[in-house]
Amino acid sequence: MRALIVYDSEFGNTEKIALAIAGGIEKCRAETVKVTEAGGIGLQQVSLLIVGSPTRGFRPTPAIMKFLEGIPDGVLNDVAVAAFDTRVKSEDIRGRLFRMIVDTGGYAANPIAERLRKKGGILVLPPEGFYVEGEKGPLKEGEEIRAGAWAKMACHA
């Protein structure tokens, strides 16, 4: 089984989660690639593709969206897929109105999962969010452990 984790990260938090996920599924020979380096990456031999992004304005980053849109039709047919994001916990947001906007706006993992599914992938994990402390992080305590455990279910090597 070849597993590939493609992620974006500006401040390093999503990268840490991606590496923790790779650790959680190391039996599946997981490779981690930042989206900016994923240009020529071949998905042909990949049997598990996990894509993660920071939540920016309720959405994945433009680079992750571009990567998803660029996946050729048919390549993900019968490929196991999963999506994650990093995000701010709504309890941590000061101001009721802003909290409500963030809650309603949603997060990056769902639209990523939806696009992977539309490309033919089989969603094998529920989309998941991992929490950062402030706008730029750091990750909340225990999130890397939680990420490794979340991904384990997808690796059947």
Ligand X SMILES: Cc1cc2nc3c(=O)[nH]c(=O)nc-3n(C[C@H](O)[C@H](O)[C@H](O)COP(=O)(O)O)c2cc1C
Which residue of 32, 55, 81, 151 would you call a contact of ligand X, by CB under 6 A?
55
Work out whether 57 is an interface residue with ligand X (CB under 6 A). yes
Q: Which is nearer to ligand X, 98 or 118 (CB)?
A: 98
CA distances from 59 to 20, 54, 85, 152, 154 (A): 22, 8, 9, 25, 24
Identify which of 89, 133, 83, 81 has the alpha carbon closest to the alpha carbon of residue 108: 83
Site for ligand X in 89-118 (CB under 6 A): 102, 105, 107
Work out whether 27 is an interface residue with ligand X (CB under 6 A). no
- What is the spatial distance between Cα 64 and Cα 25, in angstroms, rounded to a whole number? 22
User: Which segment (26-34, 118-126, 134-142, 147-155) binds ligand X by CB under 6 A?
Assistant: 134-142
Which residue of 3, 5, 6, 9 would you call a contact of ligand X, by CB under 6 A?
9
Work out whether 11 is an interface residue with ligand X (CB under 6 A). yes
Work out whether 34 is an interface residue with ligand X (CB under 6 A). no
Strands (E), 21-93: 30-34, 48-54, 80-88
Work out whether 12 is an interface residue with ligand X (CB under 6 A). yes
Q: Which string of b and e fits 37-69 if b means at least 16 CB within 10 Å?
A: ebeeeebeebebbbbbbbbbeebbbebbbebbe
Work out whether 33 is an interface residue with ligand X (CB under 6 A). no
Question: In the complex, which residues of this chain contact ligand X (CB under 6 A)?
Answer: 9-15, 54-58, 86-88, 102, 105, 107, 132, 135-137
